[in-house]
Chains A and B, each alone.
Chain A
Amino acid sequence: MVKYISKRLLVSIPVIIGITILSFIIMKLSPGDPLANFINPSINMEDLEKSRQALGLNDPLHIQYVKWIGQVIRGNFGYTYSGNHSIGNLILERLPNTVILTLSAFILSFVVGIPLGVIGAVRKNTRIDYGITLMSLVGVAIPSFFFGLLVIYVFALLLGIFPSGGMENIRAGFTGFAYYMDILHHLVLPALVLSLGNIASVSRFTRSNMLDILKEDYIRTAKAKGLRNKAIIYRHALRNALIPVVTIFGLSIPFLFSGAYITESIFNWPGMGQLGIRAIQDREYGIIMALNLITATLVLAGNLVSDILYAIVDPRIRH
């Protein structure tokens, strides 16, 4: 197992390097000038050219890349063009907020999605099943910006039970337990919006796995043993049906992270997604590259975690 994991980690290194090269090239090829924001009638074109030179924007592409990756390896993501802020610090400030949001959405997806799938399978072709199926279809089909606005309208404006955005009530100045409860209060709607699609796909996936498993010979054996329904469903069927579900554990991590871009914008959640969208508008290449790298690492880590979990839960692979 240790050997397998270290092998997988080693393979990831060239993959990550490849991803950084690709995204570097794509970004440089896209039109737009990071210094365009500074152009105004009072600025001297020569000065602009000087700072361009100083920032290394005139170097050949491969030199720019090598400089950048050299910095990154030393843990330095560089500085923003405007304001000369440390990109590493900007991201570190926001990373925890995004992690809180995505982690909540992640937990919600499985804690809600799996039971819904099981109920759907066990109550196949009943009204409950049809209801869950309908909800899942809506959940997958509805765009999150629309669902986000809908949720804000209903729960924040009409009912007024949840705040419409932000992460904390700064004016109230909560401390201790109240502070965390306040964040939780702000978290409910964005986490719900972010997880909706995932809840839907997890429940569909669980349902169809469960239905396949319930047709297996060993389920017939379990019935022939006179076990009660609970034992048949949870001990014999669910254990098997969940094995493929762990593969979407890992896969849903990058899915949620990218979903967070939109959700954070809708709910004004101070996370990395918000930072990323602003960076794209301002052509802050350093930030975009850093976020790309983080996302790519997450995708790879997610895949690795899935495969490891798979091996842990399936004794046929473990041995």
Chain B
Amino acid sequence: MNTILEVKDLSVQFRTEEGSFHAIEHVSFSVQEQKTLAIVGESGSGKSVTSLAIMQLIAENGNITGGEIFIDGQDILKLSRKQVQHSILGKKISMIFQEPMTALNPVIRIGEQITESILEHQQVSKQEARKIALDTLKQVGIPSPEQRMKQYPHQLSGGMRQRVMIAMGLVTKPKIMIADEPTTALDVTIEAQILNLLEELKRTYKTSILFVTHDLNIVADIADDVLVMYCGEVIEKGPVVDIFEHPRHPYTKGLLATMPSLDQDEKVLPTIKGSVPNISKRPQGCHFHPRCEHATDQCRTTKPQTYQVGLQTVQCFLYAPKKESSNA
């Protein structure tokens, strides 16, 4: 199976008035052909920064301080800005954002916003581009697409706009699409429709999806693999079934325990005690130790390595190979 996206040791730093800090550190993962990888984590854990870094879209005050990003085998950090624009963005990788209300240009017709992507990346005539755009709008379930093409974003509902965003992302048949909380701004019934649509399109367009969310129910529905982030680091990753059945990291365990399930009668959902530390006051050693019931002195001083447990990778000393057993 081919790897479409591979991120190795990616770190991103921001400069602010209070000083510089790393929003993400040594993030590594890969996405296989036609698979969905979900990134989960609490607010501020670095999910969006990770996706924006892959798209080379981090804010002006941030920069990538280390790591490699391979898209379809090409290390894009070694390419020039022009090359990335021309041969990567919108062509091999596309992105849909959380806010369909603001992500579309308010003064450009839907049709033009879609066809411009095609014309930028493919050698086709205007008529052909128009036809591709129409077909794609049909694919994403937009009724009377001819009419919609002539309309402006404010004439569409939120769900419709997100469908337009998806059409815009797929119209060039990219290898992978990043979706950063694409349904958070939508109500529940529309959310379900959009998720089904993404599932279906993934198959028709043969794309991989990098799906950012903090909703574990969505993860269970659509992901093949899961990446759990905490304080800018990947603390656990693995196939979705393994993670849900045997979460290893105490944080992942806590996260899954907070998940409401249908056969649960309890009124009060369990929560992980404590709260996410402020980005500038991240604790030494394992970032999670102040909230962890298994924390030892080692956790307070040294950062754990990543350890392989079955198909999962975990950043926690609980899974370090025991010295005694290796001696025996």
Contacts and interface: CB of A to CB of B under 8 A. Distances in A.
Interface of A: 216-218, 220-229, 231, 235-236, 239-240, 243, 313-316, 319
A235 B116 contact: yes
Given A217-B102, A218-B103, A239-B107, A225 B57 contact: no
Contacts of B103: 217-218, 220-221
A218 B104 contact: yes
B97 A225 contact: no
A275 to B, nearest CB: 43
Contacts of A227: 85, 90, 116-117, 120
A198 B104 CA distance: 33
A67 to B, nearest CB: 51
B14 interface: no
A228 B154 contact: no
Contacts of A240: 105-107
B95 interface: yes
A260 B275 CA distance: 66
A151 B94 CA distance: 54
A226 B105 contact: no
B305 to A, nearest CB: 34
Contact residues of A: prevailing secondary structure = helix
B181 to A, nearest CB: 13
Contact of A319 (B85, B152, B168): B152
Contact of A314 (B104, B107, B168): B107
Given A223-B57, A315-B152, A319-B152, A217 B120 contact: no
A236 to B, nearest CB: 6
Contacts of B94: 224-225
Which of A227, A235, A240, A314 gathers the greatest number of chain B CB atoms within 10 Å? A227
Given A217-B97, A217-B102, A221-B97, A226 B86 contact: yes
B261 interface: no
A195 to B, nearest CB: 28
Contact of B102 (A218, A222, A226, A228): A218
A226 B154 contact: no
B121 interface: yes
B116 A231 contact: yes
B105 A236 contact: yes
Contact of A218 (B55, B105, B117, B154): B105
A236 B94 CA distance: 18
Contacts of B88: 226
Interface string B7-49: 0000000000000000000000000000000000000000000
A225 B99 contact: no
Contacts of B120: 225-228, 231
Given A231-B116, A315-B152, A225 B89 contact: yes
B89 A224 contact: yes
A315 B116 CA distance: 19
A53 B126 CA distance: 77
Contacts of A226: 84-86, 88-91, 117, 120-121
A218 B57 CA distance: 12
B107 A224 contact: no
